[in-house]
Amino acid sequence: MLEVKNLRKTFDDYCAVDNLTFTVKPGTVMGLIGQNGAGKTTTFRLILDFLKADRGEVFWDGRPIGKNEYDIIGYLPEERGLYPKVTIQDQLLYFAQLRGKTKKEIEPKIDEWMERFQVKGKKTDKVKTLSKGNQQKVQLIATLIHEPKLIILDEPFSGLDPVNAELLKEGILSLKNSGSCVIFSSHNMDHVEKICDHLIMLNNGQTVLNGVVHEIRQSFGRTKVFLESNLTLDEIQAIAGVEQIKVHEDQSFEITLNDPEAGKVLFTAATKDGYIPMFNQQPPTLEEIFKQKVGERHA
C-alpha cells in the first residue's frame, strides 16, 4: 500500500505541491488530474525520491519508500526515452535487469507482452524501425514486464489512438486485478472515469478534489439531462431551473439544470403524451467538474 502524507514542495517562491495526502491500496487505480503545471509530475518525482520534499512523507507498506523499493516500481515518465539502435528484446531485458530480474525470468514473457499490446514488429527489430505508436508500446512493456507492485504512469495515453488506448486500459486493469497499486495522470477525463477507483484533482499544487470517482460526480447533483421527446426548445426554456440547452445533430437535447429537482418537472412535461425515446438525468461529467473547479480557483 502506498501512503502519501502532507507532501509539500516549493521551487523558490513557487509552491508546486502543497499538503498533498492520499492512499493507494493494492488492487486499486488512482487518477491524478489537473492542468499543465498543476503539480502532477512533481508529485510522481517526490514519490520516487527524484525530488526531495520540503515537508511530508511517502510510505510503502508502512515503511518510508526508498532504494529497497525501487525494484517493485514501474515508472513511465511523460518524456519517453528508448535506445533507438537497440532491439526490442535487448531493451526489455536491460530494463528488467535494472529492476532485479534475470534474463531467464523475463525472456519467456517478451512474446506474451508484445502480443498483449499488439506490437507490430519482431522482438529482434531495432526500436528505430518501429512506428511512434509501437515505440510507445515497447516503453509501456518495459515499465510493466517485471510485474511491479507500484505502477506510476505519467500521461500514458498521450499519442495513442483509440484502439491502442483501449489495449493500454486493459493492461492497467489486468495489473490492478493482480493486486498492483496503479497511479496515472491524464488529461482525458473519460479514461479517468472508466479506469479509476479514486482520483485527486490538483490546481496550482492545491488539492481541489479527493475521493471516489462516482461519489465525487454524485456530490455535484444530477444537473445534466439528455432528452429526446416532443418538447420544443421554447417549451424547455420555459421550465424553471433550466440553465442551458444544447441541441444535438439528431435533435435531442442536452440540458443543464441549476437545480436537480427541476428534472422532475422536465420529465412530467416531456411524458405528458406518454412514451418518450430518452430521458437520462446524470451528474456532470468529470471534464465539466474539472472546468468548474479550475474556474473557481482562477476567479
Mean pLDDT, all residues of the chain = 90
- pLDDT 10s digits, 247-283: 999 999 999 999 999 999 999 999 999 999 999 999 9
| Whether CATH 3.40.50.300 fits 2-211 | yes
CA 196, 134, 166 angle in degrees (round to 5)? Answer: 30
In the DSSP assignment, the letter for residue 207 is E
Residue pair 162/194 in contact (Cβ under 8 Å)? The answer is: no
Instruction: Note the pLDDT of residue 299.
Output: 45
From the CB of residue 29, how many other CB atoms can be counted at a distance below 10 Å?
A: 23
- Indicate where the chain has its CATH 3.30.70 domain(s): 221-282
Q: Which position has the grid cell 531495432? A: 126
- Indicate where the chain has its CATH 3.40.50.300 domain(s): 2-211
- pLDDT 10s digits, 35-46: 888 899 999 999
- pLDDT 10s digits, 120-175: 889 999 999 998 888 888 998 999 888 899 999 998 888 788 888 888 888 888 88
| Whether CATH 3.30.70 fits 221-282 | yes
Ordered alpha helix ranges (H), 155-283: 162-177, 189-195, 213-219, 233-237, 262-270
Q: Which residues contact 271 (CB under 8 A, 6 or more apart)?
A: 229, 279
Sign of CA dihedral 96, 97, 101, 104: positive
Q: Tell me how far CA of residue 284 lies from CA of 197, 246, 254, 257, 272, in angstroms.
A: 18, 14, 11, 10, 26
